[in-house]
Amino acid sequence: MKTILSGCIATLVLSFASTSLAGPPCAGSYPSWGRACYGSVEITARSIAWRAQFSNCKASPYEVIASDLQGEKPFVAYRFKKRNKACLYEVVEIAKQGGDHWAAIGYRSVEDYNQRHDDPGSSDYCPLGPMPSQSCNLPLVRDRK
């Protein structure tokens, strides 16, 4: 019985360790373009930033509130834990839009994010360019040849 309990504890410890060692989904730097979108989204293990002409979200700690990297339309949604005054968004989602098209989509609140399909006016959309990533193998972040 003691051996079984020790094995269960070891399994739990290893599962927590592997979760904490994993990097953030889609870490990297992604340029955005367009009249109001010129800038970038930058994601590291500790922070996220989104700079565009209409909003300047400086580097902030984040939490991943939703993700599906294996689905038909892969995405990761990040919530800024601390926002500066020039940042219009609480949530930014990196999402596949179809084909090879990807975007950063900003939502003013978690509630707006949760209701995104009901109210398209609750978000702002910026197309993203492909950039290399350290921890996610999506077309968005792979080198294109």
Q: What is the pLDDT of residues 63-111, one digit of tens each?
A: 999 988 888 888 899 999 999 999 999 999 988 887 777 889 999 999 9
Distance CA 50, CA 77 (A): 13
Q: What residue ranges do the domains of the chain occupy?
A: 24-127
Residue 132: CB atoms within 10 Å: 9
For residue 90, what is the DSSP state?
A: S
**Count of CA atoms in the C-beta half-sphere (13 A) of 24:** 22
Ramachandran angles phi, psi of 123, nearest 5°: -140, 160
Tens digit of each residue's pLDDT (9 = 90 or more) over 2-16 = 444 344 333 333 333
Question: What pTM does this model have?
Answer: 0.73
Query: Which stretches within the chain are classed as H helix?
Result: 2-21, 110-114
Tens digit of each residue's pLDDT (9 = 90 or more) over 107-143 = 999 998 988 766 667 788 899 876 445 556 554 444 3
**Per-residue pLDDT for 43 more than 80?**
yes
